[in-house]
Structure 1
Amino acid sequence: MTELSFDYWNKLAGQFIVISSLLGGFSLSVIIPLIEAKSDSKIMNYVFRSVVIATASFLISIFAMTKILMVTSQGFPFKVSSSALSFPRIVGFASFIVGLLAIIAVLSLSGWLRSHSMKRFTIIVGLLTLLLIFAMIV
């Protein structure tokens, strides 16, 4: 497998930070209305849990990628090897994927709170989103 340069990891980490920040902010902004909804339905609980998981996952991804960004930046005071990037890289990417899956779950479950036709629509949109995102990743 080809080893990626530190410059590439630096730019990639910056992109992950921006995307994770936007998606994490979106997830966080959904939590407050869900708390105020005062609904105890099973679906609402699943949506709430998914939003919390998404928010936490994107926060973890932000901090993991920030570590990569810091250690791969020019002028970092310590010597860094490629193996030092393994843990934050795995944690950052895995938490990003978990966050994406959780947001797609929220998207898919949101129609279940409305009507039967909305339920179908949001599940189809969620599945298409999942397929297209993973088609772009692979």
Structure 2
Amino acid sequence: MAYSHNYQISARRHLKAAEALYALNTGGAQPGAKAVAGYLYGLAGELAVKEMMTQSGMRPLADDQRRNDPFYKHFPELKSLLLDSAAGRRSGELLNVARTAQIFQEWSTDMRYAPTCEVPTHRVDRWQGDAKRLVVQMEEQ
């Protein structure tokens, strides 16, 4: 089954889930829940950026061009591809996200395979801030 894309709702949903895991304090939940929250913060941030891309007038490329399509990439590759493809009314904001090295620094989808000890809380804290800022920015159409 093919699913439709609603980046805005998805960004909010992933942020909400990340916040719930981040705050989870039941016995044995931490630090593993925070590590998963860190992963979800990254997805929320990506979705917020993709919604801004859509608001800017950008659209996904044809299926045979997905290899170079920022709509189908994760941080940090998403940021790299935006440097060459950002267009439209929010292009300045998108370029700023792409050029700011600190935004989701050291975040990678590979972390989903890593032991919890390799996802330090201080990084999750930074990613939490990044995700919240990007979701707020996404809402400021």
How high is the TM-score relative to the length of structure 1? Answer: 0.40
Q: Which has the higher contact order (CA 8 A, sep 6+)?
A: 2
Q: Which has the higher helix share?
A: 1
TM score, norm. by length of structure 2? 0.39
- Larger gyration radius, structure 1 or structure 2: 1
